Amino acid sequence: MVWVLCLAAFNQVSADESVRPQAMAQQKQQDLVWVPGWRDGPLMQTPRSGSATVATDDVIHVIGGVDGKNFLRSSEYIRVGKRGDLSEWKSGSKLNTERGFFSAVRHKNYVYVVGGGQGEHGKILLDTVERAEIQPDGTLGKWSIEPFKLNSKRRCTKVAVIGSHLYAFGGFGGILLDSVERAEILPDGSLDEWVVLTDTMTVARYIHGVKKVQNRIYMIGGHDKEKGVGIADVEWSQEDSEGWLETWQLSKPLQIGRYGLATLQQGDYLYAMGGLDGAAYLDSIEKAKINKDGSLGAWQFTTPLQSPREGISALIVNDAAYVIGGTNLTGYKRSIEYAGFNELGNMGYWATATEAAAKNAERQKKQAQRKILPNEAVVATHLQAARYSYLEVQRDDGLSAWLAGPVSDLPIGTRIQFPNGVVMRNFFSKELKRNFQVIMFVGELRVVKRPD
Protein backbone atom coordinates (compact mmCIF):
# COMPACT_ATOMS: atom_id res chain seq x y z
CA MET A 1 0.00 0.00 0.00
CA VAL A 2 1.32 3.45 0.78
CA TRP A 3 4.45 1.87 2.17
CA VAL A 4 5.24 1.04 -1.43
CA LEU A 5 6.52 4.41 -0.47
CA CYS A 6 4.18 7.13 -1.13
CA LEU A 7 3.42 5.59 -4.49
CA ALA A 8 5.47 6.86 -7.34
CA ALA A 9 6.69 5.75 -10.75
CA PHE A 10 10.45 5.58 -11.20
CA ASN A 11 10.95 7.96 -14.09
CA GLN A 12 12.17 11.51 -14.20
CA VAL A 13 10.26 14.41 -15.73
CA SER A 14 11.21 17.80 -17.02
CA ALA A 15 9.58 21.18 -16.65
CA ASP A 16 9.46 24.39 -18.64
CA GLU A 17 12.45 26.50 -17.66
CA SER A 18 11.51 29.41 -19.89
CA VAL A 19 9.50 31.27 -17.25
CA ARG A 20 11.79 33.02 -14.82
CA PRO A 21 10.79 34.25 -11.35
CA GLN A 22 9.41 37.79 -11.12
CA ALA A 23 8.77 40.07 -8.17
CA MET A 24 6.31 38.56 -5.70
CA ALA A 25 5.44 41.87 -4.08
CA GLN A 26 4.00 43.64 -7.12
CA GLN A 27 1.30 46.14 -6.27
CA LYS A 28 -1.95 46.13 -8.20
CA GLN A 29 -1.91 48.62 -11.05
CA GLN A 30 -4.40 49.51 -13.74
CA ASP A 31 -2.62 47.42 -16.37
CA LEU A 32 -2.25 44.32 -14.14
CA VAL A 33 -4.82 41.61 -13.45
CA TRP A 34 -4.94 38.93 -10.79
CA VAL A 35 -4.15 35.47 -12.16
CA PRO A 36 -5.06 32.43 -10.03
CA GLY A 37 -2.11 30.14 -10.52
CA TRP A 38 1.59 29.48 -10.02
CA ARG A 39 4.83 30.59 -11.63
CA ASP A 40 7.73 28.25 -12.35
CA GLY A 41 11.17 28.70 -10.80
CA PRO A 42 14.53 27.06 -11.60
CA LEU A 43 14.59 23.27 -11.57
CA MET A 44 16.28 21.47 -8.69
CA GLN A 45 19.46 19.51 -9.36
CA THR A 46 17.72 16.27 -8.34
CA PRO A 47 14.09 15.15 -8.53
CA ARG A 48 12.77 14.68 -4.99
CA SER A 49 9.68 13.35 -3.28
CA GLY A 50 9.27 12.78 0.44
CA SER A 51 12.03 15.28 1.19
CA ALA A 52 12.15 17.65 4.14
CA THR A 53 12.06 21.39 3.53
CA VAL A 54 12.92 24.29 5.79
CA ALA A 55 13.64 28.00 5.36
CA THR A 56 16.52 29.79 7.07
CA ASP A 57 15.37 33.36 6.58
CA ASP A 58 15.62 33.87 2.78
CA VAL A 59 17.21 30.51 1.98
CA ILE A 60 15.06 27.46 1.14
CA HIS A 61 16.65 24.08 1.90
CA VAL A 62 15.42 20.77 0.44
CA ILE A 63 16.89 17.82 2.32
CA GLY A 64 17.03 14.11 1.46
CA GLY A 65 14.01 12.35 -0.01
CA VAL A 66 13.67 9.86 -2.88
CA ASP A 67 14.72 10.54 -6.49
CA GLY A 68 12.71 7.67 -8.00
CA LYS A 69 15.43 5.07 -7.46
CA ASN A 70 17.34 5.84 -4.30
CA PHE A 71 16.96 7.41 -0.89
CA LEU A 72 19.16 10.48 -0.65
CA ARG A 73 21.70 12.02 1.73
CA SER A 74 22.10 15.12 -0.38
CA SER A 75 20.51 18.51 0.11
CA GLU A 76 20.29 21.63 -2.01
CA TYR A 77 19.26 25.20 -1.44
CA ILE A 78 17.99 28.24 -3.30
CA ARG A 79 18.02 31.91 -2.28
CA VAL A 80 14.96 34.15 -2.39
CA GLY A 81 15.80 37.77 -3.24
CA LYS A 82 14.16 40.79 -1.64
CA ARG A 83 11.86 41.15 -4.66
CA GLY A 84 11.06 37.45 -4.81
CA ASP A 85 13.59 36.56 -7.49
CA LEU A 86 15.19 33.13 -7.14
CA SER A 87 18.82 32.08 -7.53
CA GLU A 88 19.92 28.80 -9.06
CA TRP A 89 19.99 25.71 -6.84
CA LYS A 90 23.27 24.87 -5.09
CA SER A 91 24.39 21.73 -3.29
CA GLY A 92 24.19 21.80 0.51
CA SER A 93 25.58 19.68 3.32
CA LYS A 94 24.88 15.94 3.29
CA LEU A 95 23.02 13.99 5.94
CA ASN A 96 24.82 11.20 7.76
CA THR A 97 22.35 8.64 6.43
CA GLU A 98 20.05 8.28 3.46
CA ARG A 99 16.64 9.44 4.60
CA GLY A 100 13.22 9.88 2.97
CA PHE A 101 9.69 10.53 4.18
CA PHE A 102 10.71 12.48 7.24
CA SER A 103 10.36 16.02 8.55
CA ALA A 104 12.56 18.99 9.35
CA VAL A 105 12.05 21.98 11.59
CA ARG A 106 14.04 25.06 12.52
CA HIS A 107 14.51 26.28 16.09
CA LYS A 108 16.65 29.34 16.68
CA ASN A 109 20.04 28.64 15.08
CA TYR A 110 19.56 24.94 14.32
CA VAL A 111 17.68 22.69 11.91
CA TYR A 112 16.55 19.22 13.04
CA VAL A 113 15.50 16.23 10.90
CA VAL A 114 13.59 13.38 12.53
CA GLY A 115 12.83 9.75 11.59
CA GLY A 116 12.03 8.57 8.07
CA GLY A 117 12.84 5.46 6.06
CA GLN A 118 15.46 4.01 3.74
CA GLY A 119 16.24 0.80 1.90
CA GLU A 120 14.03 -1.15 -0.49
CA HIS A 121 10.58 0.45 -0.48
CA GLY A 122 11.60 2.32 2.69
CA LYS A 123 11.27 -0.85 4.78
CA ILE A 124 14.13 0.20 7.05
CA LEU A 125 12.49 2.52 9.55
CA LEU A 126 14.55 5.22 11.25
CA ASP A 127 14.51 6.47 14.85
CA THR A 128 17.50 8.78 14.57
CA VAL A 129 17.64 12.57 14.69
CA GLU A 130 20.21 14.82 13.00
CA ARG A 131 21.00 18.47 13.67
CA ALA A 132 22.81 21.15 11.65
CA GLU A 133 23.79 24.67 12.66
CA ILE A 134 22.65 27.58 10.50
CA GLN A 135 25.63 29.52 9.17
CA PRO A 136 25.73 33.35 8.94
CA ASP A 137 24.99 33.19 5.19
CA GLY A 138 21.90 31.02 5.75
CA THR A 139 23.48 27.75 4.60
CA LEU A 140 23.65 24.69 6.85
CA GLY A 141 26.77 23.37 8.54
CA LYS A 142 27.75 19.75 9.01
CA TRP A 143 25.00 17.40 10.18
CA SER A 144 25.54 15.60 13.48
CA ILE A 145 23.55 12.69 14.89
CA GLU A 146 21.83 13.39 18.21
CA PRO A 147 22.68 10.88 20.96
CA PHE A 148 19.06 10.21 21.94
CA LYS A 149 16.77 8.29 19.57
CA LEU A 150 13.01 8.30 19.24
CA ASN A 151 11.19 5.72 21.35
CA SER A 152 9.43 4.44 18.20
CA LYS A 153 10.83 4.22 14.71
CA ARG A 154 8.73 6.60 12.64
CA ARG A 155 8.46 6.88 8.87
CA CYS A 156 6.41 9.83 7.59
CA THR A 157 6.28 11.36 11.05
CA LYS A 158 5.68 15.11 11.29
CA VAL A 159 7.48 17.46 13.65
CA ALA A 160 7.06 20.87 15.21
CA VAL A 161 8.61 22.95 17.97
CA ILE A 162 6.25 24.17 20.66
CA GLY A 163 7.83 26.16 23.46
CA SER A 164 11.13 24.48 24.31
CA HIS A 165 10.15 21.04 23.01
CA LEU A 166 10.59 19.25 19.69
CA TYR A 167 7.54 17.06 19.01
CA ALA A 168 7.10 14.06 16.68
CA PHE A 169 3.51 13.22 15.71
CA GLY A 170 2.31 9.87 14.37
CA GLY A 171 3.89 8.08 11.42
CA PHE A 172 4.46 4.39 10.64
CA GLY A 173 6.46 2.22 13.01
CA GLY A 174 5.30 -1.22 11.94
CA ILE A 175 1.75 -0.05 12.54
CA LEU A 176 0.13 3.33 12.00
CA LEU A 177 0.83 5.46 15.06
CA ASP A 178 -1.46 7.73 17.06
CA SER A 179 1.27 8.47 19.60
CA VAL A 180 3.20 11.67 20.23
CA GLU A 181 6.65 12.02 21.73
CA ARG A 182 8.82 14.99 22.50
CA ALA A 183 12.32 15.99 23.55
CA GLU A 184 13.41 19.11 25.36
CA ILE A 185 15.70 21.40 23.37
CA LEU A 186 18.63 22.23 25.64
CA PRO A 187 20.35 25.65 25.67
CA ASP A 188 23.18 24.43 23.41
CA GLY A 189 20.68 23.17 20.80
CA SER A 190 21.09 19.48 21.62
CA LEU A 191 18.12 17.31 22.56
CA ASP A 192 17.32 15.61 25.83
CA GLU A 193 15.76 12.13 25.92
CA TRP A 194 12.51 11.57 24.03
CA VAL A 195 9.39 11.06 26.17
CA VAL A 196 6.15 9.47 24.93
CA LEU A 197 3.10 11.49 25.96
CA THR A 198 0.22 9.78 27.71
CA ASP A 199 -2.51 11.35 25.58
CA THR A 200 -2.76 10.11 22.00
CA MET A 201 -4.30 11.74 18.97
CA THR A 202 -7.92 10.89 18.12
CA VAL A 203 -6.81 8.72 15.17
CA ALA A 204 -3.55 7.24 13.90
CA ARG A 205 -1.84 9.70 11.54
CA TYR A 206 0.40 8.59 8.69
CA ILE A 207 1.47 10.63 5.64
CA HIS A 208 -0.52 13.44 7.20
CA GLY A 209 -0.10 17.19 7.42
CA VAL A 210 0.94 19.18 10.48
CA LYS A 211 1.02 22.91 10.98
CA LYS A 212 1.88 24.96 14.06
CA VAL A 213 0.11 28.29 14.48
CA GLN A 214 1.30 30.31 17.49
CA ASN A 215 1.12 27.82 20.40
CA ARG A 216 -1.39 25.51 18.68
CA ILE A 217 -0.72 22.44 16.57
CA TYR A 218 -3.04 21.07 13.87
CA MET A 219 -3.12 17.50 12.46
CA ILE A 220 -4.61 17.38 8.96
CA GLY A 221 -5.66 14.28 6.99
CA GLY A 222 -3.60 11.11 6.67
CA HIS A 223 -4.01 7.54 5.46
CA ASP A 224 -6.69 5.02 6.44
CA LYS A 225 -4.92 1.66 6.25
CA GLU A 226 -8.06 -0.47 6.39
CA LYS A 227 -9.90 1.28 3.55
CA GLY A 228 -6.88 2.44 1.57
CA VAL A 229 -8.14 6.02 1.38
CA GLY A 230 -7.29 9.45 2.69
CA ILE A 231 -8.94 10.58 5.91
CA ALA A 232 -10.61 13.97 6.22
CA ASP A 233 -10.35 14.35 9.99
CA VAL A 234 -8.63 17.43 11.42
CA GLU A 235 -7.71 17.86 15.08
CA TRP A 236 -5.75 20.33 17.17
CA SER A 237 -4.19 20.84 20.57
CA GLN A 238 -2.04 23.33 22.44
CA GLU A 239 0.27 23.37 25.43
CA ASP A 240 -1.36 24.04 28.80
CA SER A 241 0.05 26.23 31.58
CA GLU A 242 2.32 23.39 32.71
CA GLY A 243 3.76 22.82 29.23
CA TRP A 244 1.83 19.65 28.30
CA LEU A 245 -0.45 19.17 25.32
CA GLU A 246 -4.14 19.48 26.09
CA THR A 247 -6.67 16.82 25.03
CA TRP A 248 -6.98 16.74 21.23
CA GLN A 249 -10.09 18.41 19.78
CA LEU A 250 -11.72 17.62 16.45
CA SER A 251 -12.27 20.50 14.07
CA LYS A 252 -14.03 20.86 10.71
CA PRO A 253 -13.00 18.02 8.35
CA LEU A 254 -11.48 18.44 4.90
CA GLN A 255 -13.77 18.25 1.90
CA ILE A 256 -11.53 15.51 0.45
CA GLY A 257 -9.76 12.95 2.58
CA ARG A 258 -6.12 13.10 1.54
CA TYR A 259 -2.69 11.72 2.42
CA GLY A 260 0.78 12.58 1.15
CA LEU A 261 -0.32 16.21 1.34
CA ALA A 262 1.52 19.41 2.23
CA THR A 263 0.29 22.14 4.56
CA LEU A 264 0.77 25.88 4.82
CA GLN A 265 -0.35 28.70 7.09
CA GLN A 266 -0.62 32.26 5.86
CA GLY A 267 -2.47 34.99 7.71
CA ASP A 268 -5.74 33.66 9.08
CA TYR A 269 -5.81 30.56 6.88
CA LEU A 270 -4.58 26.98 6.95
CA TYR A 271 -4.03 25.21 3.62
CA ALA A 272 -4.09 21.49 2.70
CA MET A 273 -2.39 20.89 -0.64
CA GLY A 274 -2.35 17.99 -3.10
CA GLY A 275 -1.77 14.41 -2.01
CA LEU A 276 -3.79 11.29 -2.78
CA ASP A 277 -7.39 10.44 -1.97
CA GLY A 278 -6.69 6.72 -2.44
CA ALA A 279 -7.81 6.49 -6.04
CA ALA A 280 -6.14 9.49 -7.63
CA TYR A 281 -3.42 12.08 -7.25
CA LEU A 282 -4.85 15.46 -6.29
CA ASP A 283 -4.12 18.96 -7.53
CA SER A 284 -6.75 20.57 -5.31
CA ILE A 285 -5.97 22.90 -2.41
CA GLU A 286 -8.33 23.58 0.47
CA LYS A 287 -8.22 26.49 2.91
CA ALA A 288 -9.87 27.00 6.30
CA LYS A 289 -10.02 30.14 8.39
CA ILE A 290 -8.48 29.92 11.84
CA ASN A 291 -10.87 31.18 14.50
CA LYS A 292 -9.70 33.05 17.58
CA ASP A 293 -10.47 30.07 19.83
CA GLY A 294 -8.29 27.78 17.68
CA SER A 295 -11.17 26.04 15.89
CA LEU A 296 -11.36 26.11 12.10
CA GLY A 297 -14.04 27.33 9.73
CA ALA A 298 -15.33 25.17 6.91
CA TRP A 299 -12.71 24.07 4.37
CA GLN A 300 -13.08 25.69 0.94
CA PHE A 301 -11.33 25.03 -2.35
CA THR A 302 -8.87 27.62 -3.63
CA THR A 303 -6.31 27.87 -6.46
CA PRO A 304 -5.18 24.34 -7.43
CA LEU A 305 -1.63 23.15 -8.07
CA GLN A 306 -0.35 23.10 -11.64
CA SER A 307 -0.45 19.29 -11.62
CA PRO A 308 -1.72 16.53 -9.30
CA ARG A 309 1.05 15.43 -6.93
CA GLU A 310 1.84 13.82 -3.60
CA GLY A 311 4.99 13.94 -1.52
CA ILE A 312 5.41 17.67 -2.17
CA SER A 313 6.99 20.16 0.21
CA ALA A 314 5.50 23.59 0.82
CA LEU A 315 6.57 26.61 2.82
CA ILE A 316 6.15 30.38 3.13
CA VAL A 317 8.98 32.85 2.58
CA ASN A 318 8.32 36.60 2.64
CA ASP A 319 4.54 36.09 2.38
CA ALA A 320 4.83 33.96 -0.77
CA ALA A 321 4.05 30.26 -1.07
CA TYR A 322 6.59 27.84 -2.54
CA VAL A 323 5.75 24.26 -3.61
CA ILE A 324 8.64 21.90 -4.29
CA GLY A 325 9.07 18.47 -5.86
CA GLY A 326 6.68 15.56 -5.34
CA THR A 327 5.55 12.79 -7.64
CA ASN A 328 2.63 11.56 -9.74
CA LEU A 329 2.03 9.10 -12.57
CA THR A 330 4.53 10.92 -14.81
CA GLY A 331 7.40 10.60 -12.34
CA TYR A 332 9.41 12.51 -9.79
CA LYS A 333 9.59 16.31 -9.96
CA ARG A 334 12.45 18.81 -9.89
CA SER A 335 10.14 21.81 -9.87
CA ILE A 336 9.73 24.77 -7.57
CA GLU A 337 6.59 26.84 -8.08
CA TYR A 338 5.54 29.98 -6.28
CA ALA A 339 2.58 32.31 -5.82
CA GLY A 340 1.42 35.24 -3.74
CA PHE A 341 -1.88 35.70 -1.90
CA ASN A 342 -4.76 38.09 -2.47
CA GLU A 343 -6.98 39.63 0.19
CA LEU A 344 -9.22 36.54 0.20
CA GLY A 345 -6.32 34.18 0.90
CA ASN A 346 -6.30 32.72 -2.62
CA MET A 347 -3.03 32.01 -4.44
CA GLY A 348 -1.91 33.69 -7.63
CA TYR A 349 -0.01 36.68 -8.98
CA TRP A 350 -0.44 40.02 -10.73
CA ALA A 351 0.26 39.92 -14.47
CA THR A 352 -0.36 41.83 -17.67
CA ALA A 353 -3.50 41.10 -19.65
CA THR A 354 -1.39 39.26 -22.24
CA GLU A 355 0.22 37.02 -19.60
CA ALA A 356 -3.18 36.38 -18.01
CA ALA A 357 -4.69 35.36 -21.36
CA ALA A 358 -1.81 32.95 -22.02
CA LYS A 359 -2.21 31.39 -18.57
CA ASN A 360 -5.95 30.99 -19.10
CA ALA A 361 -5.36 29.29 -22.48
CA GLU A 362 -2.88 26.92 -20.86
CA ARG A 363 -5.40 26.08 -18.13
CA GLN A 364 -8.15 25.35 -20.65
CA LYS A 365 -5.80 23.08 -22.63
CA LYS A 366 -5.00 21.05 -19.50
CA GLN A 367 -8.69 20.74 -18.65
CA ALA A 368 -9.44 19.49 -22.17
CA GLN A 369 -6.65 16.91 -21.92
CA ARG A 370 -8.04 15.59 -18.64
CA LYS A 371 -11.40 14.91 -20.26
CA ILE A 372 -9.77 12.27 -22.46
CA LEU A 373 -9.59 8.92 -20.65
CA PRO A 374 -6.86 6.68 -22.09
CA ASN A 375 -8.12 3.20 -21.14
CA GLU A 376 -11.14 1.18 -22.28
CA ALA A 377 -12.34 -2.27 -21.22
CA VAL A 378 -15.42 -4.34 -20.40
CA VAL A 379 -16.55 -5.17 -16.86
CA ALA A 380 -16.13 -8.91 -16.21
CA THR A 381 -16.59 -9.00 -12.42
CA HIS A 382 -18.08 -6.43 -10.03
CA LEU A 383 -17.51 -6.64 -6.24
CA GLN A 384 -19.14 -3.92 -4.16
CA ALA A 385 -17.69 -2.39 -0.98
CA ALA A 386 -18.55 0.70 1.06
CA ARG A 387 -15.92 3.00 -0.43
CA TYR A 388 -15.07 1.38 -3.78
CA SER A 389 -16.39 -0.72 -6.61
CA TYR A 390 -13.85 -3.46 -7.32
CA LEU A 391 -13.97 -4.36 -11.01
CA GLU A 392 -12.23 -7.03 -12.98
CA VAL A 393 -12.08 -5.62 -16.52
CA GLN A 394 -11.05 -7.17 -19.81
CA ARG A 395 -9.52 -5.35 -22.77
CA ASP A 396 -10.32 -6.16 -26.38
CA ASP A 397 -6.97 -7.96 -26.69
CA GLY A 398 -8.02 -10.37 -23.92
CA LEU A 399 -5.85 -8.98 -21.11
CA SER A 400 -7.62 -8.49 -17.80
CA ALA A 401 -6.89 -6.43 -14.68
CA TRP A 402 -8.49 -5.33 -11.42
CA LEU A 403 -9.61 -1.76 -10.78
CA ALA A 404 -10.95 -0.03 -7.68
CA GLY A 405 -13.02 3.03 -8.49
CA PRO A 406 -15.92 5.14 -7.20
CA VAL A 407 -18.94 3.20 -5.99
CA SER A 408 -21.14 2.39 -8.99
CA ASP A 409 -23.85 -0.01 -10.20
CA LEU A 410 -22.06 -1.05 -13.39
CA PRO A 411 -23.41 -4.41 -14.58
CA ILE A 412 -21.19 -7.11 -16.05
CA GLY A 413 -20.66 -6.53 -19.75
CA THR A 414 -20.60 -2.74 -19.50
CA ARG A 415 -17.87 -1.07 -21.60
CA ILE A 416 -16.11 1.62 -19.60
CA GLN A 417 -13.29 4.12 -19.91
CA PHE A 418 -10.99 5.03 -17.03
CA PRO A 419 -7.83 7.08 -16.38
CA ASN A 420 -4.44 5.81 -15.31
CA GLY A 421 -4.38 5.46 -11.55
CA VAL A 422 -2.44 4.47 -8.46
CA VAL A 423 -1.13 0.91 -8.63
CA MET A 424 -1.14 -1.11 -5.39
CA ARG A 425 0.62 -4.47 -5.06
CA ASN A 426 -0.46 -7.15 -2.61
CA PHE A 427 -3.39 -5.02 -1.52
CA PHE A 428 -5.67 -6.70 1.04
CA SER A 429 -9.26 -5.47 1.26
CA LYS A 430 -10.58 -6.10 4.76
CA GLU A 431 -14.13 -5.39 3.56
CA LEU A 432 -13.93 -8.09 0.89
CA LYS A 433 -11.49 -10.27 2.85
CA ARG A 434 -9.55 -10.67 -0.34
CA ASN A 435 -5.99 -10.03 -1.47
CA PHE A 436 -5.31 -8.46 -4.87
CA GLN A 437 -1.87 -9.18 -6.27
CA VAL A 438 -2.06 -6.01 -8.40
CA ILE A 439 -4.90 -3.49 -8.45
CA MET A 440 -5.17 0.04 -9.83
CA PHE A 441 -7.17 2.67 -7.95
CA VAL A 442 -8.79 5.16 -10.32
CA GLY A 443 -10.78 8.32 -9.72
CA GLU A 444 -13.35 7.91 -12.49
CA LEU A 445 -15.33 5.16 -14.26
CA ARG A 446 -17.06 6.40 -17.41
CA VAL A 447 -19.62 4.33 -19.33
CA VAL A 448 -18.97 4.22 -23.07
CA LYS A 449 -22.21 5.19 -24.78
CA ARG A 450 -22.94 3.17 -27.88
CA PRO A 451 -24.14 5.07 -30.95
CA ASP A 452 -27.93 4.96 -31.47
The pLDDT of residue 386 is 82
- In sequence order, the β-bridge partners of residue 257 are none
Q: Which fold has domain 375-447?
A: OB fold (Dihydrolipoamide Acetyltransferase, E2P) (2.40.50)
Note the pLDDT tens digit of each residue in 332-354: 999 999 999 999 999 999 999 88
The whole-number average pLDDT for the span 427-449 is 89
- In sequence order, the β-bridge partners of residue 259 are 276
- In sequence order, the β-bridge partners of residue 447 are 416
- 2-368 CATH: 2.120.10.80
- What percentage of the chain exceeds 90 in pLDDT? 75
The pLDDT of residue 369 is 66
Nearest alpha carbon to residue 408 among 434, 362, 441, 446: 446
Task: For the chain, give every residue range classified as CATH 2.40.50.
Answer: 375-447
- In sequence order, the β-bridge partners of residue 323 are 314, 337
Categorize the per-residue pLDDT at 357 as very low, low, confident or very high, splitting at 50, 70 and 90. confident
Question: Measured between alpha carbons, how far is 138 from 110 in angstroms, rounded to an integer?
Answer: 11
Task: For the chain, give every residue range classified as CATH 2.120.10.80.
Answer: 2-368
Q: Judging by beta carbons within 10 Å of its beta carbon (0-12, 13-18, 19+), is residue 190 exposed, middle or buried?
A: middle
Backbone phi, psi, residue 369, to 5°: -65, -35
The pLDDT of residue 20 is 38
| Greater model confidence, 128 or 57 | 128
Note the pLDDT tens digit of each residue in 361-408: 887 777 776 678 889 999 999 999 888 899 999 999 989 999 999 899
Specify the pTM.
0.85
- Conformational region of residue 73, where left means phi above 0, alpha means psi within -120 to 50, and beta covers everything else: alpha
Note the pLDDT tens digit of each residue in 45-96: 999 999 999 999 899 999 999 999 999 999 999 999 988 889 999 999 999 9
Q: What is the DSSP letter of 2?
A: G
The whole-number average pLDDT for the span 162-186 is 97
For residue 193, the SS3 value is: strand
The whole-number average pLDDT for the span 197-225 is 95
The pLDDT of residue 332 is 96
Q: Mean pLDDT of all residues in the chain?
A: 90
The pLDDT of residue 370 is 67
The pLDDT of residue 289 is 97
